[in-house]
A and B are shown apart, each in its own frame.
Chain A
Amino acid sequence: MRQIIHIVEHDFRNFLRYKMWLVGLIAMNLADLFITAVVYNTVLNPNLAIKNYFSFFAPGLVVTGLFASAFMIGREINMERRREVHHYMLCLPMTRMELAVGRVLSGGFRGMVYMSPLLVTCFVFLGLPTVPQFFVILGLLFLTAIGISGLSIAIAVSTSSLEKFVTARGLVYYALFFCSSVFYPLSLIQQLGQEGKFPAVLVAFAEINPLSSTSDTIRSFLLGSPQFSYYSILNVVVFSAVFTFSAAFAYVKIIERK
């Protein structure tokens, strides 16, 4: 356990050294909320279930921020592998599993820290949840973060160059974000699916997408809509478990290869 904490501390300290990148990312995220969301709010389709796009988008922004920062651990691990810095990590006095779990957890914690100002912004504009709801939100966000971190690590150890990693990251991002309720309501995607204008497989993907589950759970607590479902929590738990363990497994197996 102690060694896992050391690994988390190591990755966290490195995360804080990317201050400039983080500030740039926050600027983009806040611009999305205070410019794009505000503008879209004035031209929202009156037939939609949502009446205020700014309020709708704010929880989605939290998930966007969480994703970007939790995914960053993969980039670092990819770079470590390319520069053979991982040899140093491998010769430390800890088991491989401690090392792998530490990396996954640190990605998750990093995501949580980065998104916290965005979550606070959400609460400022949308109101506070109840205490149990707050802990459910935090728990869900943490599970999502470690799942994303795990996914990122699995991709990082499977790709041999930065270019390939960035490409894979892009593909994952497009699939996860565009086919989710982060930017638009799930009901709209389902409606387009029923009209045959959106592939059914992508509609199904959007429905089981953990980013949809996390965003919608925050919305259900803060906005009262969509309706809360325990299925969302189960969805995120499964996603997190699958990618945490596959990342740990992939990290241990692939990182030792030469």
Chain B
Amino acid sequence: MIFLPLVREVPPIIRIQNLTKKFGTMTAVDHLNLNIEDGEILGLLGPNGAGKSTAILMLATVIKPTEGTACVGEYDIRKQPERVRGLLGIAFQEPKMLWVSTPWDVVNWHAKVCGLSTTERKRRVKEVLNAVDMWDARKKNVHALSGGMRKRVEIAKVLIQRPKVAIVDEPTAQIDIVGKHRIWNMLFELRDAGSTIILATNELYEADKLSDRVGIMHKGKLLVCDTPKKLKDSIVGGDIVDVQLEEAASAEVVQKLRSFKEIVDVLQVKPQSLRLHLNRVEEVVPRIVSLFAKQDVSIQSFRMSEPSLDDVFAHYTGLTIEEAQKDKE
């Protein structure tokens, strides 16, 4: 008898079906369909006005969808909104706190509302405020804090709550590079502790670095959603290799390079300089080097680059993120 291990499929933690939001004649989110897996970090990338924040507000049950629905865990956002809110924690794009409050007030009260016990709350408030470097400023009015400090307090709310699903909308806007890295590490820790994270951002590096998958949004629509690597690979010939040879490359060498199925195009920029447009560069490079060796061609230098998420965005929309932002304005 052969015992086969049981493979139980884990359903997605969030299932979004045809989620739409219209404001008058303007469609902010247009029939969004997306499944988010438990424990993943999903990046929502797009320029301002792409619909990321509106989609987030619908998931958080802050605003009602015009059409469609979503399920967070087993709860529908339309039918069981308070259950959904029990699973979610959200750090808004613009920090939401009264200016007469203090960071300590904000984080402590949030922890109370989210059900932390008194002992745990006392310990974790200090821990979290220290982690976001706001312990010294804990008694200052929000009014007196800089934009970056308010942002850190906003993040602290999610960190102290440790929700099943954390939504962070532009978590490192207005924060310096050291602060950004600190917050990114905290988000990884949050994920490792069991949270699923939805990260809305228009910062390409942030989306690339943090996300397991990236969904690209533009004008309310989700254009594509996949791992950063697959997104980059989806651009035909997106990877580039620049080879500088010691001697001019022969036609035979160029022909042999063109025969590689991953290589989309070979340009002889100068007699000794070749530019290759290809896919899956990391798999093809050893074979290219081997070819040059067999042909007895000496390589002077070898440079590789792969497309950025901006290139991916441009590929799907025809615009860079910056151009899309200006277009929106």
Contacts and interface: CB of A to CB of B under 8 A. Distances in A.
Given A90-B62, A258-B63, A18 B96 contact: no
B105 A91 contact: no
A14 B113 contact: no
B226 to A, nearest CB: 29
A247 to B, nearest CB: 20
Given A10-B109, A14-B101, A256-B63, A91 B23 contact: no
A91 B141 CA distance: 23
Contacts of A87: 57, 60, 62, 92, 96
B101 A17 contact: yes
B98 A94 contact: no
B215 to A, nearest CB: 21
Contacts of B141: 17
A9 B94 CA distance: 24
B114 A85 contact: no
A91 B100 contact: no
B90 interface: yes
Nearest to A87: B62
A159 B260 CA distance: 68
Nearest to A3: B113
A3 B82 CA distance: 12
A84 B97 CA distance: 9
A6 B94 contact: no
Interface in A1-34: 3, 6, 9-10, 13-14, 17-18
Interface in A162-220: none
Contact of B82 (A6, A9, A83, A95): A95
**Residue among A84, A88, A95, A258 with most chain B CB within 10 A:** A88
Contacts of B109: 6, 9-10, 13
B128 interface: no
A94 B82 CA distance: 6
Interface string B61-83: 11110000000000000000010
Contacts, number: 62
B86 interface: yes
B276 interface: no
B92 to A, nearest CB: 6
A210 to B, nearest CB: 29
Contacts of A83: 96
B113 A6 contact: yes
Contacts of B61: 90-91
B96 A93 contact: no
Interface string B116-138: 00000000000000000000000
B96 A88 contact: yes
B263 interface: no
A12 to B, nearest CB: 11
Interface of B: 23, 57, 60-64, 82, 85-86, 88, 90, 92, 94, 96-98, 100-101, 105, 109, 112-115, 141
Given A9-B112, A91-B61, A93-B86, 19 more contacts: A6-B109, A10-B109, A14-B101, A17-B101, A18-B100, A79-B98, A84-B94, A87-B62, A87-B92, A88-B96, A90-B62, A91-B88, A92-B85, A93-B114, A94-B85, A94-B113, A256-B62, A256-B63, A258-B63
The 8 A-B residue pairs with the shortest CB-CB distance, nearest first, are A88-B96, A17-B100, A93-B86, A91-B60, A85-B96, A90-B62, A93-B85, A87-B62
